[in-house]
Structure 1
Amino acid sequence: MMIPPGLIPFTFDLFVPTYPPLRSGRWAVHHGGNLLCQGYWSPPRLVPHVAALVRGDDTWMSTTPIELESQEIGVRLASGHVVVFGLGMGWSAVASALKPEVTAVTVVEIDPEVLALHRELDLAAQLPPAAREKIRIVEGDAYTWRPDRPVDLLMPDIWLPLISDGRVEEVRRMQDNVQAKSLYFWGQELEIARHAAAAGLSLDDAGIRATIAALALPLIGPALPGYAGKLRQATARHLRGRWLPGTTPPDLTDVLASASAA
């Protein structure tokens, strides 16, 4: 395939399973190709092949850059017993299971049709036996489920939009039941940015640490080198118009311009 001059194809170093086209009740796995896709923090990239989990007119997850990048920090920092709320396409679960630092992965999913879809997909069959044996999928509600053993990392990903009001409070409800040692929830960079700006804090390392302390959640993102820069890039790309009431948004024009030129 000829790639237009200046257009960089998307590459990703973490394992992404193969998804055959399937349907289960209202859910289906669809495929597309040669798409120009925006990243979570990266600029638009050409993606030769995309698989997506679709229900009706809504795409709940896909293998696009925005979806993979917005979950990868949790996977990269995962260790011990990892609990994932929301099965989706199962990517974060299988990618986490491949890490030697991860001893077990428990996935909690409430929708029986999604569970049936994954019984047919059987993504674990694409993993080596040692990684495959780490994964356990259970039916349950993210807001009421309680673990039967200690949890080292909780990764909730149950929302359709990237940003939604009340998400921090919803994560607190989950964490109250799970008591995980650490947490990484989908879209957390945007929530940190919203709360930091509302408190008059800068989106730098110090401001991010202070915001996380005020949220009183054991968020692990800052353990990744360069986290503040990634947070600012994601914020510049995706948070326009969704700041908390009364917030004066920071000027992120230069961040977005430099990221687009990368």
Structure 2
Amino acid sequence: MTMQESGLPPGLEFYETDLFIPTYRLGDGDNGWRLRAAALSISPGYWTPTRLVRDMVALLRHGDTWMSTSPMELESQEIGVRLAHGHVLICGMGMGWAAVNCALRPDVTRVTVVELDPAILALHRELDLTAQVPPSARAKLHLVQGDAYSFVPDQPVDLLMPDIWLPLMNDGRVEEVRHMQANIQAGAVYFWGQELEIARHGVAWGYDLDDAGIAATIRRLDLPLIGPAIDDYAGKLRGAVRQHMRGRWLPGSVSPPLV
């Protein structure tokens, strides 16, 4: 059957990643949480174009998708995972993808996950994703029930990765991350939707969305953000802006031309 005969748009490529995607057991959890899958779907990336996705799994609650194995979701956490090192503290368990992939990184010594909702913790006890990774990675993973806004670690943290929000952007996100960082004092931070917040603030401050403008913006945000160490970070950031900003710039900003 051709793409046209299947009803799918022609020219779409399949999404591929070298990062680990666990196998999820589908079903219903407590407090309205559900895991569902689609055998074949079409999804935009975070910074890349729309592609076909095989066997995409989503974590749903009351009709909202909190996480999925879509290109957008995985790419939007990928930089933090690839730069993970030492003791990583993740706020928000979600589907556990970032936690498991951080634990698989050789430079990571410990992964602490802080999750507020006991129903999500119960769901992960049933899923037992750690059974799908080697014992060396499994031993690094530690789940803690707690509030991301008040949690204080009992040992130094090298990388803080907060991902506790349903929308990709919200106006208070930078201040919320600063609040978490004040308690945690991590050596580095990578938060969900970071590229869009760098872009929004940088444009509002009159910077270009290039390497120099991004570096200047990060300095003014007063957070130890990582990301520019990734190849073509500025290009990826601009790709995320094209895909997802949709005019939601900070008040008074003029939408920049993006090439």
TM-score where L is the length of structure 2: 0.96
Q: What is aligned with 1:187?
A: 193
Q: What is aligned with 2:14?
A: 9
Alignment partner of 2:251 out of 242, 245, 249? 245
Cα distance in 2, alignment partners of residues 27 and 2 from structure 1: 36
Post-superposition offset of 1:223: 1.1
Unaligned runs of 5+ residues in structure 2 are 5-9
Tell whether the 8 Å contact from 1:221 to 1:227 is kept in structure 2 after alignment.
yes
Q: Which runs of 4+ in 1 moved over 3 A?
A: 1-5
Cα distance in 2, alignment partners of residues 7 and 193 from structure 1: 28
Q: CA RMSD in A?
A: 1.0
Aligned amino acid, residue 87 of structure 2: H
CA offset digits 1:186-215 (Å, max 9, x no partner): 000000000000001000000000000000
CA offset digits 1:17-40 (Å, max 9, x no partner): 011103221101111121110000
Cα distance in 1, alignment partners of residues 49 and 87 from structure 2: 33
C-alpha spacing 1:205/1:112, structure 2 compared with 1 (3 Å):
same
Instruction: State the aligned residue count.
Output: 253
Alignment partner of 2:164 out of 158, 162, 177? 158
Alignment partner of 1:60 out of 63, 66, 77? 66
Pairing of 1:60-209 with structure 2 (within 5 A): 60-209=66-215
Identical pairs, percent: 63
Cα distance in 2, alignment partners of residues 51 and 19 from structure 1: 8
Q: What is aligned with 2:7?
A: none
Unaligned runs of 5+ residues in structure 1 are 256-262
Q: What is aligned with 2:238?
A: 232
TM-score where L is the length of structure 1: 0.95
Tell whether the 8 Å contact from 1:22 to 1:117 is kept in structure 2 after alignment.
no
Cα distance in 2, alignment partners of residues 156 and 83 from structure 1: 8
C-alpha spacing 1:149/1:226, structure 2 compared with 1 (3 Å):
same
Equivalent residue of 1:221, what SS? Answer: coil
Cα distance in 1, alignment partners of residues 223 and 11 from structure 2: 41
Equivalent residue of 2:215, what SS? Answer: helix
